[in-house]
Amino acid sequence: MIRTGLRWVLAVFYFTAGVIHLVRPAPFLTIMPAWVPAPEAVVLWTGVAEILGSVGLVQPFSRPIRQAAGWGLALYALCVWPANINHFALDMAKADGGLGLGYHVPRMFAQPVIIWLALWVGECLPLRRRNA
């Protein structure tokens, strides 16, 4: 029950983020590390990946699709981490500190949690139960 609820929360989060990537790519382009080739295409395809992953995550009768979506979204979150780190560095270099540590530090700690959550709600990781 908890896993299903969190699966839907994560799916809505990723679906919304994917749509934003497609309709408003400019903020994502500004945080893209300089070494990433074809940044416009990367932002477009990351949006598509988020949408497809979110749809796959909530498939009610296909565990293999949910698992593929879980693995895909976890890998996605790992791959975009450099952009989040770059955003942190760029923001903190601003004279006013940008969004500040109160925004960026929790975001950095949230990334591994999001990776784990995608794997758990995608049923890629077992739920361990204590023996009573």
In a domain, 128, yes or no: no
In a domain, 44, yes or no: yes
What is this structure's pTM? 0.86
Q: Which phi and psi (to 5°) does residue 95 adopt?
A: -60, -35
- What gap in Å lies between CA 67 and CA 70, rounded to an integer? 5
In a domain, 132, yes or no: no
In a domain, 32, yes or no: yes
Q: State both tokens at 19.
A: 């749509």
pLDDT at 39: 93
Residue type, 74: A
pLDDT at 128: 62
Exposed / middle / buried, residue 99 (Cβ in 10 Å: 0-12, 13-18, 19+): middle
In a domain, 130, yes or no: no
In a domain, 127, yes or no: no
- What gap in Å lies between CA 21 and CA 124, rounded to an integer? 26
In a domain, 129, yes or no: no
Q: State both tokens at 22.
A: 């497609």
The domain of 7 spans: 2-121
What is the total count of domains within the chain?
A: 1
Whole-angstrom CA distances from 90 to 19, 85, 93, 97 are 24, 9, 5, 9
In a domain, 31, yes or no: yes
Query: Please, are residues 50 and 76 in contact by the beta-carbon 8 Å criterion?
Result: yes
Number of alpha carbons in the 13 Å side-chain half-sphere of residue 56: 22
pLDDT under 50: residue ranges of the chain? none
pLDDT at 33: 87
